[in-house]
Amino acid sequence: MTRIADVRLRRILDSRANATVEADVLTESGGFGRAAAPSGASTGEHEAIELDAEEAIANAREHAVPRLVEEVYAGDQRSVDAALHAADGIDDFSGIGANSAVAISMAAAKAGADMLGAPLYQHLGGAFRGENFPVPLGNVIGGGEHAADATDIQEFLSAPVGAPSVTDAVFANAAVHDEAHEILADRGIPAGKGDEGAWAPSIDDEEAFEIMAEATENVSDGVGFEIGFGLDVAAAEMYDDGEYVYSDRTRSTDEQIEYVADLVHEYDLVYVEDPLDENDFEAFAELTDRVGEETLICGDDLFVTNTERLQTGIEQGSANSILIKPNQIGTLTDAFDAIELATRNGIEPVVSHRSGETEDTTIAHLAVATDAPFIKTGAASGERTAKLNELIRIAEDAL
């Protein structure tokens, strides 16, 4: 194990052509790691704070880099991330920026793996690594904060739960993505793409459900294994003054619970993310009690990869799944702590990309290392397929 010799930070473009932070970590023995921070559009109010990229880089160079270079061993991830917390001095990373923190954290992990000559998933895995590979959730139709003049529900997700391999799952999602486009074309509905590469047609949620059901059934018949689908409702973005505001109506909290429960039953949904407001632990608990035996009720904005909020959810029975986004909490250690707390309490971790992404593939390794049942990566566009192609490589390497 050797110390960090240098940390280099730079601005690069993310998938929305916004500036984000990329970090290089070099060790005294020649180990090297590079990682880049993603950025969300639909963000929870309790997330770690992302700064302007230039400000984040300047602050990290001043406060974090001196605590790391020649002070911390690159393979000791907890020490790396503790140094980042100390440099920030604030729980929400508003000092050095969560974008600088997570880029450095992930780059250090890659440098540690490089020193060992091991794949990143092995370096991260430890006791977590199981025999299963995560099922990729592919964003097929979307709206909400990710696209204008499209569906109220933010993401309609293909879920090839019966796929015999990662490769089969990846290509099934791509096929569902293509099939949905063909169905839209047959209906005479033009569709561009949203932030995550999903089709963003000017249709209502009801029609989107019809198209998803048809597309997944058609592809499932062709490939010979089960393909379900799920949702990211992103309900916090709809919630206003005690009601959920849709394009054509509003729903009270009780009506929202009833609506989502009915959708689970009607479409056999395998996954439902953020179906209620980000601060309504009680309503999440009620919905989970109703349909938690049938599907995953996943908290994203509810938990924001934060162990304190997750502990509250565990005590109240608020969900049976947590979304894991390293940039949402600032470091890999914090993300691992959330995963460990979740798995100890029967909560399924789902590792996720963000709407503003880069070609970085760390989350593919994190999902494999922690035996996550699902990974959200999208189904199309280069920064999404980077993760999917890496999952294929990891599966081949692990055979």
3 state SS for the chain: CCEEEEEEEEEEECCCCCEEEEEEEEECCCCEEEEECCECCCCCCCCCCCCCHHHHHHHHHHHCHHHHCCCCECCCHHHHHHHHHHHHCCCCCCCCCHHHHHHHHHHHHHHHHHHHCCCHHHHHHCCCCCCCCCEEEEEEEECHHHCCCCCCCCEEEEECCCCCCHHHHHHHHHHHHHHHHHHHHHCCCCEEECCCCCEEECCCHHHHHHHHHHHHHHHHHHHCCCCEEEEECCHHHCEECCEEECCCCEECHHHHHHHHHHHHHHHCCCEEECCCCCCCHHHHHHHHHHHCCCCEEEECCCCCCCHHHHHHHHHHCCCCEEEECHHHHCCHHHHHHHHHHHHHCCCEEEEECCCECCCCCHHHHHHHHCCCCEEECCCCCHHHHHHHHHHHHHHHHHC
Which one of the listed residues 325, 357, 383, 390 is annotated catalytic? 325
Active site residue 325: yes
pLDDT score for 43: 67
Which one of the listed residues 155, 179, 196, 383 is annotated catalytic? 196
Confidence band (pLDDT; 50, 70, 90) for 114? very high
User: Given a cut of 70, is residue 275 above it in pLDDT?
Assistant: yes
Confidence band (pLDDT; 50, 70, 90) for 127? very low
pLDDT score for 147: 63
User: Given a cut of 90, is residue 241 above it in pLDDT?
Assistant: yes
- The mean pLDDT of 22-30, rounded to a whole number, is 96
Topology (CATH level 3) of domain 125-398: TIM Barrel (3.20.20)
pLDDT score for 132: 77
pLDDT score for 46: 86
Active site residue 193: no
Domain residue extents for the chain = 4-117, 125-398
What would the pLDDT profile of 188-211 be if each residue is shown by its tens digit?
999 988 888 899 999 999 999 999
Give me the CATH code for the 4-117 domain, please. Answer: 3.30.390.10
